Chain A
Amino acid sequence: MKQKQIMSIGNVWKKYDMGSADPLIVLKEINLDIHEGEFIAITGPSGSGKSTMMNIVGALDGPSWGKVLLKGKDLSELGESNLSLFRGKTIGFIFQSFNLIPTLTAIQNVMLPMEMVDLPEKEAKERAELLLGMLGLKDRLNHKPNELSGGQQQRVAIARSLANDPEIILADEPTGNLDSHTGKFVMDFLGKLNKEGKTIILITHDLNLVRYARRVIHIKDGKIEKETSR
Chain B
Amino acid sequence: MKPQNKFFTLIFMFFVFGIFISNFVSSEEVNYSVSSSYGGIQVSSIKYEPYPVNPGEYFDFWIHASLGTAKYAKFEMVQNFPFTLENSAEAINEYENIGSRDVVMHYKIRVDKDAVEGLNNLGLKISTQKYSSSEVVYPFEIYVSNAQTDFDLIVQDSSSSQVSLAIANIGKNVANSMIVRIPEQNGFKVTGTNGQMVGNLDAGDYSIVGFNLLPIGRNAGNLTVQIDYTDNIGVRRSLLKNVPFAGVSSGNFTAQVSGEAVPANFARGTFQRTTTPASGINWTAILLSFIVVGIILFFKKNPKLFNKSFNTLKKDGKKLEKLDVPAWIQKEKSKERSSRGK
Contact = CB atoms under 8 A, between A and B. Distances in A.
A26 B320 contact: no
Given A15-B328, A33-B308, A176 B33 contact: yes
A62 interface: no
Interface residues of B, number: 51
Given A10-B310, A87-B16, A49 B23 contact: no
Contacts of A97: 20, 22, 33, 36
Contacts of A18: 104, 106
Interface in B5-59: 5, 8-9, 11-13, 15-17, 19-23, 31-36, 44-49, 51-52
B309 A98 contact: no
B1 interface: yes
Interface string A1-23: 00001001111010111100111
A116 B32 CA distance: 30
Nearest to A15: B328
A2 to B, nearest CB: 11
A67 B11 CA distance: 29
Given A8-B309, A112-B8, A176-B31, A118 B1 contact: yes
B251 interface: no
B329 A45 contact: no
Given A9-B309, A15-B328, A101-B11, A47 B19 contact: no
Contacts of A11: 309-310, 313, 320-321
Interface in A91-115: 93, 95-99, 101-102, 111-113, 115
A69 interface: yes
Interface string A108-140: 000111011010000000000000000000000
B328 A23 contact: yes
Given A99-B20, A145-B23, A31 B143 contact: no
B280 interface: no
A88 B1 contact: no
Interface string B108-130: 00000000000000000000000
B336 to A, nearest CB: 8
Which DSSP category, helix, strand, loop or mixed, fits chain B's interface? mixed
A65 B329 contact: yes
A99 B15 contact: yes
A24 B9 contact: no
A221 B267 CA distance: 44
A116 B12 contact: yes
B332 A28 contact: yes
A47 B1 contact: no
Nearest to B44: A51
Interface stretch (A52-60, A185-193, A194-202, A209-217): A52-60
Contact of B46 (A13, A16, A32, A111): A16
Interface in A40-90: 45-52, 54-55, 60, 65-67, 69, 84, 87-88
A182 interface: no
Contacts of A112: 8, 11-12, 15
A148 interface: no
Residue with the highest number of chain B CB atoms closer than 10 Å, among A11, A55, A60: A11
B5 A25 contact: no
B279 interface: no
Contacts of A55: 19
B132 interface: no
B284 interface: no
Contacts of A96: 31, 33-34
Contacts of B341: none
A32 B5 CA distance: 37
B338 interface: no
**Which of B9, B45, B142 has the largest number of chain A CB atoms within 10 A?**
B9
Contact of A26 (B1, B47, B308, B313): B47
B62 interface: yes
A10 B319 CA distance: 10
B68 to A, nearest CB: 15
Contact of A24 (B17, B33, B46, B141): B46
Given A98-B22, A172-B34, A16 B64 contact: yes
B8 to A, nearest CB: 4
B312 interface: yes
Nearest to B49: A47
A69 B308 CA distance: 14
A113 B46 contact: no
B307 interface: yes
Given A10-B313, A13-B332, A67-B313, 10 more contacts: A23-B328, A33-B309, A46-B32, A46-B143, A49-B47, A87-B16, A88-B16, A96-B34, A172-B34, A221-B51
Q: Which 4 A-B pairs have the closest CB atoms?
A: A10-B313, A51-B34, A47-B47, A115-B8
28 contacts: A5-B312, A8-B312, A10-B309, A10-B313, A11-B309, A11-B310, A11-B320, A13-B329, A13-B332, A15-B328, A18-B104, A24-B104, A31-B307, A33-B312, A45-B52, A46-B45, A46-B48, A46-B142, A47-B46, A47-B48, A52-B46, A54-B34, A60-B17, A66-B320, A84-B17, A112-B15, A118-B5, A222-B47
